[in-house]
Amino acid sequence: MTYKSLLTIATSPGGLLAPVSAAAQIATRMDAHLDALALGVDRTQVGYSYVGSGAVLVAAAMERAEEEARESEAALNAALGTQLPALRSGVETVVTQLGALTDVVAARARYSDLVVLPLPYGKTRSVADEAVTEAALFEGMAPVLIVPETGMPNSDPKRIVVAWNQSREALVATRRSMPFLRRADNVQIVVIDPPAHGPERSDPGGLLCQLLVRHGIHAEVTVLAKSMPRVSDVLARHLRDVDAELLVMGAYGHSRFREAIIGGATRDLLERAEVPVLLAH
């Protein structure tokens, strides 16, 4: 069980080396093909322009988007050029308006086994990066590997943490991460503050552990108390304690609007991720 078709997407020329290198190493190790998409995004809102200036704004914005697409394409080609010669890859360039970005990304992500992206949040990221991540997860229905700025030191992670809360999203993420889990030396199913009256109250994470073990995966369950205000803080500390190389978790258990306004475990972790995070919804 491996990933055979990988996709990475660039909305700007900056910060591409880490996700491209991670995607390239995974593709080479799993004998997969890596597709790279360079996006130029027109972010204008013509509806708010002065009467008569709309056409001028559109023309200028599209020209700027085309220039950004060319810069991203050049950066992708440069990053791919530093990879092993055995890598099979291709680069496509698309210019789109922000409102159509979801359809463009989803059309590619739906036919990819894994989408590899940089952190969507941060000073150097834009609203387009958030839109790309959410489009791949929700409309593209693809697992997304988020690579922090420090990169992915081991493209064949041996110590993996699965964040388990009995949700549909967490189960989907676990199933989509099987190519990584089967190669790991140790998989920790981490349950934080399990409910006393939940369906798994007598054996939190037990059924998931059983499923993984039957696949030949060395899995174990770790139950943690919510000793810090946020679940994401507890999880982040545990990742450091066990020197984890990959975190697997369900994405956006709440609505995206609620996550954006008041935060949530997904957003909190992605804003300051120290290890690669595999997400699925």
SS3 47: helix
pLDDT of amino acid 256: 56
SS3 252: coil
Name residue 10's beta-bridge partners.
38
Of the candidates 121, 124, 122, 123, the residue with the CA atom closest to the CA atom of residue 133: 121
pTM above 0.85, yes or no: yes
Beta strand 5-10 with 159-163 is unpaired
Report the interhelical angle of 101-109 vs 127-134 (nearest 10°): 40
Give dist(CA 251, CA 262) in Å, integer: 15
Give dist(CA 79, CA 34) in Å, integer: 13
pLDDT of amino acid 274: 93
**Domains, the chain, ranges and CATH?**
5-147 (3.40.50.620), 159-280 (3.40.50.620)
Core vs surface per residue 248-279: b (16+ CB within 10 A) or e? bbbbbbeebeebeeeebbbbbbbeebebbbbb
Residues whose CB is less than 8 angstroms from the CB of residue 197 and which lie 6 or more positions away in sequence, other chains included: none
Residue 219's identity, in one-letter code, is A
Residues whose CB is less than 8 angstroms from the CB of residue 14 and which lie 6 or more positions away in sequence, other chains included: 75, 124
Residues whose CB is less than 8 angstroms from the CB of residue 96 and which lie 6 or more positions away in sequence, other chains included: 39, 40, 41, 42, 65, 104
Contact 142, 8 (CB under 8 A): no
Distances (CA, A) of 221 to 159, 183, 208, 276: 13, 18, 9, 21
Give dist(CA 111, CA 106) in Å, integer: 9
Give dist(CA 102, CA 137) in Å, integer: 10
* Sign of the alpha-carbon dihedral angle for 123, 124, 128, 129: negative
Q: Which helix (H) or strand (E) holds 130?
A: helix 127-134
How would you write the pLDDT of the chain (281 residues) with one tens digit per residue?
Answer: 799 999 999 999 998 999 999 999 999 999 999 999 999 998 775 555 555 555 656 678 788 999 999 999 999 999 999 999 999 999 999 999 888 999 999 999 999 999 999 999 887 788 899 899 999 999 999 999 999 999 999 999 999 999 999 999 999 999 999 999 999 999 999 999 987 776 767 789 999 999 999 999 999 999 999 999 889 999 999 999 999 999 999 987 655 554 554 357 788 888 888 999 999 98
SS3 280: strand
Take residue 210 and report the two structure tokens written for it: 């059983």
